[in-house]
Amino acid sequence: MSGETDHSMEARTAQGDELEPPASFVEQANVTDPGIYDEFAENWPECWEQAADLLDWDSDYDTVLDDSNPPFYEWFTGGELNASYNAVDRHLDERGDETAIEWIGEPTDEANRSYTYRELHREVNEAAAALRDLGVGEDDVVTMYMPMVPELPIAMLACARIGAPHSVVFAGFSADALATRMNAADSEYLVTCDGYYRRGDALEHKAKADDGLASVDHDVTSVVVDRLGDDYDHPMRDDDVDYDALVDEHTGADVDPVSRDAEDMLFLMYTSGTTGEPKGVKHTTGGYLSWVTWTSQAVLDVKPEDTYWCSADIGWITGHSYIVYGPLSLGTTTVMYEGTPDYPDKDRMWEIVDEYETTQLYTAPTAIRAFMKWGEQYPAEHDLSSLRLLGTVGEPINPKAWKWYYEHVGGEDCPVVDTWWQTETGGMMITTLPGVGEMKPGAAGPPLPGLDVNVVDGSGQPVDAGDAGYLTVDRPWPGMLRTLYQNDERYVQEYWAEYSDTDSDDPDDWTYFPEDGAKIDDDGYITVLGRVDDVINVSGHRLGTMEIESAIVGVEGVAEAAVVGGNHPVKGEAVHAFVITEDHADGGEELRERIIQGVEDAIGPIARPESVVFTPELPKTRSGKIMRRLLEDIANGDDLGTTSTLRNPDVVDDIQAAVEGE
């Protein structure tokens, strides 16, 4: 790993303080025994029966881990269960009248919707009957392209009930992104929505869904939820099905939850990688559900009587694992908020915590940086004393933001868990156990018990404490992805090839590579430094540079493009595009606009470039590779160091002139 990266990270993670978790928290925590680390290490892999035991199984598994064919591991083999039964039905006796989902719309003058477990059970059954009626069968992939409306988790659970894997596409993604994912998954069903509210406006969503469907190369049945009512009279195409009307036809229907094999697919989630094609990450019913349920209990300290709030969008993995499956499997109340944190004012989050007396808050560092910028007066206006635990996920959190969160939101009375994980890991991997370990702002923490995580150099040897290296995971875990959808070869190539002997069938020869850089301290605490592949993390959202580059190259007049991530005070990273036009000239405002639009059309507004710099050439090494690091330095205004290894060193002056002229 290069010295420059290490240096800038050093600045970001200047550490020193260690904090004990508050005694009042520890007294009541779900996990308090430090012996859990040794216990799990000694009793591996059987330790993970503790996670499986949190679920209700229709039939017991025979084997905890089948590692006979690495890296195609299987967990809880032979067991059968249903995720919707675990998230809903099994709570009916004791918690039927307690709130399962507390849904808060963005407009403050409308009635929010809360669903008891009994009501959720009704809705899920009726939706399951409705989907079946449309022809959805076991193993059919149902795509969902919906904002934060209650029908989204209801439809997910309805799919789980009938054994149909869902593939949720973030509503902020573009029509093209929807089409790519539906084509890749051969998905013949779509559940979407007319629109949603954003900062007071009714925004239409359905037109985007329809545009996407126009590029899907097979027939699709599309079901449309009416969120906006009279605020938007959405057009329906001939074959579109109205969600409410369809569900009404099934009022009172009961659908038996289908027993699924532990290894049957629960869902697919597309995520960005190094190449342009999004990766269809496959998660299974037994391993994934055990993992998110156990981590919700052990790390987020979820208890049934809590009002737990994760402010992510369900369109990302965090929402799947820690708004829907984990919390509901534990029978708690999970909060779902439709809008943004600054509408109608910058205290909306704190107003919600205050009003609903939420007990946990799990959010992203980018949100915390925005809160800091807005000022501590906003949280100070509200009673936040109901909070017991705070969490972060999605990107590194610098100690300053960590401390702000701890002090101004947690009142120095709540532990903060900085949780490192990925779409592929299903759930949390590196974090302190809040009732056990001390906290070090800036460092995520040790790996969870039962995990074998290391920081190594390029040849796989552990690095010294404090040195930067690459994160690796040396043993399988129940929540891990099983493969990339219909692409076993890419699965091996992307995640295992780097540090494994891929000819071996000995699981000890296999190591998972998450493509993150990290360092580890003398106490085994890991500070995650960020991606080492061509992935940019904008506001905690993963974007592939290749995807953005191919969108830009698709714009008329563009010959070549390189995209890099530059530092950004709130978003963490921002997209910077360096573009060569067909005539090697400055493309001007008009082309710049078309490039930005092209990226929004291909991916979505989250990928919008912060800057577009026209350059006659891109800096290339002698072997013809684009020197991205140099472009990153230019985007960050950093010293460039030596450029003598370039084939075309003169280009650097041209680019810098273009940046200044922009």
Site string for ligand WTA, 308-347 (x = CB under 6 A): --------xxx-----------------------------
Please count the other Cβ atoms lying within 10 Å of the Cβ belonging to residue 137: 10
Assign 632 to helix, strand or coil: helix
Cβ-based nearer residue to ligand WTA, 18 or 110: 18
Among residues 105, 327, 396, 565, the one that binds ligand WTA under rule CB under 6 A: 396
**Nearest distance in Å: CB 351, ligand WTA:** 26
Residue found by looking up tokens 């928290």 in the block: 25
Among residues 514, 544, 609, 619, the one that binds ligand WTA under rule CB under 6 A: 514
Asked whether position 422 contacts ligand WTA by CB under 6 A, the answer is: yes
Which tokens go with 212? 């996407």
Dmax of the chain from CA atoms? 73
Question: Facing residues of 469 across strands?
Answer: 518
**Nearest distance in Å: CB 512, ligand WTA:** 12
Name residues whose C-beta falls within 8 Å of residue 144's C-beta, 6 or more positions apart in sequence: 152, 155, 156, 166, 167, 168, 169, 190, 191, 192
Asked whether position 395 contacts ligand WTA by CB under 6 A, the answer is: yes
Angle between helices 175-184 and 588-602 (to 10 degrees): 40
Task: Produce one character per residue of 19-40: b if its CB has 16 or more CB atoms within 10 Å, e if not.
Answer: eebbeebeeebbbbeeebbeeb
Cβ-based nearer residue to ligand WTA, 391 or 435: 391
Cβ-based nearer residue to ligand WTA, 37 or 270: 270
Asked whether position 73 contacts ligand WTA by CB under 6 A, the answer is: no
Asked whether position 13 contacts ligand WTA by CB under 6 A, the answer is: no
Q: Which of these segments, 208-216, 232-240, 326-334, 524-532, binds ligand WTA (CB under 6 A)?
A: 524-532
| Sheet strand arrangement including 142-145 | 241-242, 221-225, 189-193, 142-145, 166-168, 265-271, 279-284, 483-484
Count Cβ atoms within 10 A of the Cβ of residue 235 and give its class: 0-12 exposed, 13-18 middle, 19 or more buried. Answer: exposed
Do 179 and 212 form a contact (C-beta atoms < 8 A)? yes
Angle between helices 175-184 and 206-214 (to 10 degrees): 50
Q: Which of these segments, 141-149, 330-338, 527-535, 567-575, binds ligand WTA (CB under 6 A)?
A: 527-535
Task: Produce one character per residue of 400-421: b if its CB has 16 or more CB atoms within 10 Å, e if not.
Answer: ebbbbbbebbbeeebbbbbbbb
Asked whether position 174 contacts ligand WTA by CB under 6 A, the answer is: no
Among residues 67, 263, 418, 573, the one that binds ligand WTA under rule CB under 6 A: 418
Asked whether position 426 contacts ligand WTA by CB under 6 A, the answer is: no
Site string for ligand WTA, 117-146 (x = CB under 6 A): ------------------------------
Cβ-based nearer residue to ligand WTA, 137 or 466: 466
Asked whether position 393 contacts ligand WTA by CB under 6 A, the answer is: yes
Asked whether position 285 contacts ligand WTA by CB under 6 A, the answer is: no
Asked whether position 423 contacts ligand WTA by CB under 6 A, the answer is: yes
Do 151 and 144 form a contact (C-beta atoms < 8 A)? no
Site string for ligand WTA, 207-246 (x = CB under 6 A): ----------------------------------------
Asked whether position 447 contacts ligand WTA by CB under 6 A, the answer is: no
Among residues 310, 361, 439, 444, the one that binds ligand WTA under rule CB under 6 A: 444
Site string for ligand WTA, 542-561 (x = CB under 6 A): x-------------------
Which tokens go with 121? 């059970």
**Nearest distance in Å: CB 530, ligand WTA:** 6
Asked whether position 420 contacts ligand WTA by CB under 6 A, the answer is: yes
Q: Which of these segments, 96-104, 122-130, 259-267, 387-395, binds ligand WTA (CB under 6 A)?
A: 387-395
Among residues 121, 205, 369, 531, the one that binds ligand WTA under rule CB under 6 A: 531
DSSP state, residue 508: G
**Nearest distance in Å: CB 57, ligand WTA:** 27
Q: How many angstroms separate the CA atoms of 151 and 126, rounded?
A: 12
Cβ-based nearer residue to ligand WTA, 466 or 649: 466
Cβ-based nearer residue to ligand WTA, 223 or 397: 397
Cβ-based nearer residue to ligand WTA, 444 or 655: 444
Please count the other Cβ atoms lying within 10 Å of the Cβ belonging to residue 14: 11
- Closest residue to ligand WTA, judged by C-beta, is 423
CA separation, residue 12 to residues 376, 402, 443 (Å): 22, 12, 11
Do 26 and 32 form a contact (C-beta atoms < 8 A)? yes
Cβ-based nearer residue to ligand WTA, 338 or 395: 395
Angle at 87 between CA 85 and CA 91, to 5 degrees: 80
Cβ-based nearer residue to ligand WTA, 264 or 516: 516
Q: How many angstroms separate the CA atoms of 45 and 48, rounded?
A: 6
Among residues 84, 125, 271, 483, the one that binds ligand WTA under rule CB under 6 A: 271
Do 316 and 76 form a contact (C-beta atoms < 8 A)? no
Cβ-based nearer residue to ligand WTA, 13 or 333: 13
Which tokens go with 446? 């040790």
If binding means CB under 6 A, how many residues of this protein chain bind ligand WTA?
Answer: 22
Residues 558-597 that bind ligand WTA (CB under 6 A): none
Q: How many angstroms separate the CA atoms of 611 and 609, rounded?
A: 5
Where along the sequence are the contacts to ligand WTA (CB under 6 A)? 271, 316-318, 393-396, 418-423, 444, 514, 516, 528, 530-531, 537, 542
